Amino acid sequence: MLATGLVVIAAALAGAALLSLAIGARDISFGTVLHALANPDPNSTDSLIVTESRLPRTIVGLLAGAAFGLAGAVIQGVTRNPLADPGILGVNAGAGLFIVIAISFFGITSLTGYVWFGFLGAAVTSVLVYTIGSIGRGGATPVKLALAGAAVTAALISFTTAVLIVDVDAYDQFRFWQVGSLAGRGIDIALQGLPFLVAGAALAFYSARALNALALGDDVATSFGQNVIVARLIAAGAVVLLCGAATSMAGPLVFIGLVIPHIARAITGPDHRWLLPYSMLLAPLLLLVADVIGRIVARPGEVQVGIVTAIIGAPIFVAMARREKLAEL
């Protein structure tokens, strides 16, 4: 049953990818899209749009979406926290600050150059937020983590602003990254992020069984012979690799990593061996559909995908926050 579901979602994802190739400021028929993919023609405008602009963008969307979905499922599993999400936890703001430093102090102007800084910033911040949020009684509870994330975000934004106020050129670049978008991403961005994403995904799937054990509580997990600390570290490594690379590629996309695992969990139940692949396929589906919506609502311009996902995701976040027993996972 669950395997069939995966096939259905994969088919839907292929459909969304096709839509993402066909729809935009200039609509291109599906036949032309497929033809352009099979036989790229450098003299045809339609073919160029598909292969040079929309194909890389769609690939970045697929990769970043899969990464956010997986990272969200792992982070929620390992923290046993239903509100865990890279955006809420301040990881984006960390990536943002480091990217600003790259642009302003090191004069790095290409996305392929500052992707590394975003990566480092995401890693540093996630460790910081999780450490602060897990101090004290009860470990990393949802409220403590969310507050630590919001507070660290505010702190990092102050530093980011201090740099940007002096450097208007850096600000001009940064504001387009900050909003969260797939527009203008080339295939080089996807290739650069790919090794991190593959490594992160491998770690994530490797820890699926351990996450199932952790879900029963540390004591039970230990009695099953699970080394709790090692399992946490591997899972955290997966999250940092996935979030860091995806955030650098597509910018800070909030709520995807939060919402998708909940939808996936409704289908699969709590078993991470199914939850992870479902999250990995559902998230890019949402991301590509959101990106296409963003291109349709503001023709001939577009609304960046970060805005669309924020508006779709917020009601779900609020619904989660209203639930009576927040910490049950």
Partner 1 sequence: MVTTTRRRETARARTVAVVLFVVVIALFALTLSYGDFQISLPDVVRSLFGLPTPAGVDYVMHDLRLPRASVAALAGLAFGLAGAIFQQLLRNPLASPDVIGVSQGATTAGILTSMVLGLDGGIVSAAGLIGAVLTALTIYALSWRKGVGGYRFILVGIGIGTVLTSITSFILTRSDVKIAAEAMIWLTGSVNGRTWDQIIPLAVAVLILVPLAMILGRTLTGMQLGDDLATAFGVHVQRSRFALLIVAVCLTGMATAAAGPIAFVAFMSGPIAARLVGGGRPVLIQAALVGSMLVLVSDFIGSHLLGSRQFPVGVVTGVIGAPYLLWLLATANRSGRGG
Among 1, 3, 266, 318, binds partner 1 (CB under 8 A): 318
Q: Is there binding between residue 159 and partner 1 (CB under 8 A)? A: yes
Q: Is there binding between residue 161 and partner 1 (CB under 8 A)? A: yes
Stretch that binds partner 1, among 38-46, 114-122, 279-287, 319-327 (CB under 8 A): 319-327
As a dihedral over the C-alpha atoms of residue 19, residue 21, residue 25, residue 31, rounded to 10 degrees, the angle is -80
Is the CB of 53 or the CB of 134 nearer to partner 1? 134
Q: Is the peptide bond before 300 cis (omega within 30 degrees of 0)?
A: yes
State whether residue 137 is helix, strand or coil.
coil
Q: Is there binding between residue 307 and partner 1 (CB under 8 A)? A: yes
**Nearest to 254, CA basis, from 146, 179, 190, 145:** 179
Residues 6+ apart with CB under 8 A from 68: 86, 242, 243, 246, 253, 256, 257, 260, 283, 287
Q: Is there binding between residue 152 and partner 1 (CB under 8 A)? A: yes
Among 7, 8, 10, 135, binds partner 1 (CB under 8 A): 135
Q: Is there binding between residue 304 and partner 1 (CB under 8 A)? A: yes
| Shortest CB 313 distance to partner 1, Å | 8
Q: Is there binding between residue 141 and partner 1 (CB under 8 A)? A: yes
Residue 151 to residues 32, 82, 88, Cα–Cα distance (Å) = 49, 19, 10
Please say whether the beta carbons of 19 and 284 come within 8 A.
no
Binding flags for partner 1, 64-103, as an x/- string (CB under 8 A): -------------------x---xx---------------
Residues 6+ apart with CB under 8 A from 91: 122, 125, 126, 129, 243, 244, 247
Q: Is there binding between residue 171 and partner 1 (CB under 8 A)? A: yes
Q: Is there binding between residue 296 and partner 1 (CB under 8 A)? A: no
| Shortest CB 278 distance to partner 1, Å | 24
Q: Is there binding between residue 121 and partner 1 (CB under 8 A)? A: no
Helix and strand tally (H, E) in the chain?
15, 0
**Nearest to 199, CA basis, from 250, 231, 245, 232:** 245
| Shortest CB 25 distance to partner 1, Å | 16
Residue list 36-65, contact with partner 1 (CB under 8 A): none
The contact set with partner 1 (CB under 8 A) reads: 83, 87-88, 132-133, 135-137, 141-144, 146-152, 154-159, 161-162, 164-166, 168, 171-172, 175-176, 178-180, 254-255, 303-304, 306-307, 310-311, 314, 317-318, 321-322, 326
